[in-house]
Amino acid sequence: MFDRFSRSWELARASAAVLRSDKELMLFPIISGLLTLVVLATFLLPVWATRMFADGFSVVGAVVVFAFYFCQYAVILFCNCALVGAAMIRLDGGDPTLADGFNAAKARLPAILGYAAIAATVGLFLKRMKDDDNLLVRLLGSGLGAAWTLATFLVVPVLVAENVGPVEALKKSAGLLRRTWGENAIGNVGIGLVFGFISLGIVLVGALLAYLAAQVSMALAIAVGVVFVIALLLLGVYQAALSGIYSAALYRYATQGEAPPAFRALRLESAFQAK
């Protein structure tokens, strides 16, 4: 287990170094966030205007909710595939552009849409379980959600790198989990915890400074709050980009067992050696 912790840390550290060398990769999560806001507005405004759910949850409402989930997943998956496609070019020693990433995603668009339908269906099912009144059902839903996250962590790099359909990509990702379960879990939890603590620190410091600023001027307090909100958003963008690079690196480790050229330059070959 110590070897897995060590290897996961080296992979995450190398992924961060790759991101520092190609900050353009952070544009993909920014574009993804903007597009998801557009999708949200596209569905939310008509639903609010027509008061669709005023009389409860109907069949039409269920179709609209599924369509919303599908569109959101499709947008996020497309941008994630673009990020991973660009990251793989960088890992091979290339210098990817924004167009290179989106071209890689467009080449796999049918598979991406197919997997978005699967993810939307599973997402709705898990949300229903987590919102259930029964505590055991909610706990089961949370456990299944965590298992789904681990099993599907490598779906995006599989979709980008291999000419397979959505079901085969899901099977391949789950199969690779058996080989990389430690790095997968540690990477997911570790990156999430680190950025969670940093986010908490930003919130606490921001709240304190905003409170102190409010003693001087409400406008100053608002300005301080805006600055710290922007800091949180930028941190989320960095985390999303880092996770994408990590998944690409972990996929390479799982399928090739050796360091990509970009990682060899960092003298981190040991991170890719099975121990």
pLDDT in tens, 83-115: 999 988 888 878 889 999 999 999 999 999 999
Q: What is the pLDDT of residues 214-236, one digit of tens each?
A: 998 899 999 999 999 999 999 88
Q: What is the mean pLDDT of residues 7-18?
A: 70
Residue spans of the domains in the chain: they are: 2-272
Amino acid at 55: D
Residue 262 is encoded by which pair of tokens?
Answer: 């970009």
Beta strands per DSSP E along 10-58: none
Q: What percent of the chain has pLDDT over 70?
A: 83
Beta strands per DSSP E along 165-264: none
Q: What is the pLDDT of residues 56-85, one digit of tens each?
A: 666 777 788 889 999 999 999 999 999 999
Q: What is the mean pLDDT of residues 40-58?
A: 80
Q: How many CB atoms lie within 10 A of CB 50?
A: 11
Residue that the structure tokens 């759910």 belong to? 53
